[in-house]
Amino acid sequence: MSLRAEGISITYESADGRRKRAVSDVDITIATGEFVSVIGPSGCGKSTLLHCVGGMLAPTAGRVTLDGAEVREPDPARAAFVFQDYSLYPWKSVLDNAAIGLRFAGVDRRTRRERAMRQLELVGLAEVAHSYPSELSGGMQQRVAVARALTMEPDILLMDEPFGALDEQSRRRLGVEMSRILTAAGKTVVMVTHSLDEAVYWADRVLVLSRGPGRVIQDIRVEGPRPRTLDFMTTPAFDAQRVRLFTLLEHEYDEAERTADRPAAEEPPGAGTKLAKDAAASGGPR
């Protein structure tokens, strides 16, 4: 399913009453099955753009379409979110957490639990299906969040710093697993990350945003089939792409230091609230 963002600009009113532009004139096209990473300086509008793509935030100008149909509101059955903070219900089992979106969608109990269990098997958590989130490690909880998104059978997976709460070693180990899982699932994925390693390791393409207001300044293709092993991180190709991204970001930070303007906020007020994230992640009431 082709995803297009056409002429996307997002402006909001800051706490002091001033109008600020977070994203400016973004045009991107993502093909079915592609994995695209989005990086850029802090405050450049990465998460704002992702929320707009997923229908959580309306653009001030431009439009987002999936196979030509305009995206106007969150729909986890078409584009499901995975956030850094997991957004799991602590009083529900792993299985019920994975099935919660289908429950809100009105799917019968037997069907939703069967579909959720298939995804828990895919992410390697079938044996803890009847445990509670507090009994799991951070990495395992994040896999539950991914299973919950995949249970909705969405066309697109939108990931916002999914491993940001984990230590570096856990991020890399989980990254290898998730690369395999998402490749096997054949999903189109857009992932926001601050990690240059993750951006290159996971992706078919890396979109680099400028300092705020964010606009796409580079669209870099990463050669090599997916899923990848950790050995890929030791190759000259990986090093070259990482250095290229580092240099681009350093230039943007240098430019930011040369101006008195502060960058736009990463998320306009309300876009990243827990209520909004819970609704987008689970398909619950909005």
User: What is the tens place of the pLDDT at every residue in 147-172?
Assistant: 999 899 888 999 998 877 677 777 77
> Using CA atoms, how far apart are residues 228 and 247, in angstroms rounded to an integer?
24
Q: What pLDDT was estimated at residue 267? A: 47
Q: Output 170 or 192, whichever has higher pLDDT.
A: 192
The mean predicted confidence, pLDDT, of the chain is 84
Cα-based distances in Å from 223 to 19, 219, 220, 230, 236? 40, 13, 10, 15, 12
Cα torsion angle, 198, 200, 203, 205, sign: positive
> Using CA atoms, how far apart are residues 73 and 59, in angstroms rounded to an integer?
11
Model confidence at 271: pLDDT above 80: no
143-160 CB burial, b ≥16 within 10 A, e <16: bbbbbbbbbbbbbbbbbb
Model confidence at 277: pLDDT above 90: no
The conformation of residue 137, written as its DSSP 8-state character, comes to: -
pLDDT band at residue 19 using 50, 70 and 90 as cut-offs: confident
Cα-based distances in Å from 255 to 210, 242, 258, 262? 10, 20, 5, 11
Residue 259: inside a domain, yes or no? yes
pTM for the whole thing? 0.83
Residue 59: inside a domain, yes or no? yes
Percent above pLDDT 90 for the chain: 42
Tokens at 17, concatenated = 């009453």
> Using CA atoms, how far apart are residues 108 and 69, in angstroms rounded to an integer?
28
pLDDT band at residue 278 using 50, 70 and 90 as cut-offs: low
Q: What pLDDT was estimated at residue 135? A: 95
Residue 143: inside a domain, yes or no? no
Residue 142: inside a domain, yes or no? no
Residue 206: inside a domain, yes or no? yes
Residue 162: inside a domain, yes or no? no
Q: What pLDDT was estimated at residue 191? A: 93
Q: What pLDDT was estimated at residue 275? A: 41
Of 133-137, 229-233, 269-273, the range with the highest mean pLDDT is: 133-137
Tokens at 244, concatenated = 């290229």
Residue 188: inside a domain, yes or no? no
Q: What pLDDT was estimated at residue 261? A: 53
CB atoms inside a 10 Å sphere around CB 107: 18
Q: What pLDDT was estimated at residue 257? A: 65
pLDDT band at residue 260 using 50, 70 and 90 as cut-offs: very low
Looking at residues 222-244, what average pLDDT do you find? 88
pLDDT band at residue 274 using 50, 70 and 90 as cut-offs: very low
Domain that holds residue 230: 3-74+196-278
CATH of residue 64's domain is 3.40.50
Model confidence at 115: pLDDT above 60: yes
Model confidence at 1: pLDDT above 90: no
Q: In the chain, which ranges are E strands?
A: 3-13, 19-30, 35-39, 61-66, 69-70, 79-83, 156-160, 188-192, 205-209, 216-221
Residue 173: inside a domain, yes or no? no
Instruction: Give the chain's domain count.
Output: 1
Question: Phi, psi (5° rounding) for residue 87?
Answer: 55, 45
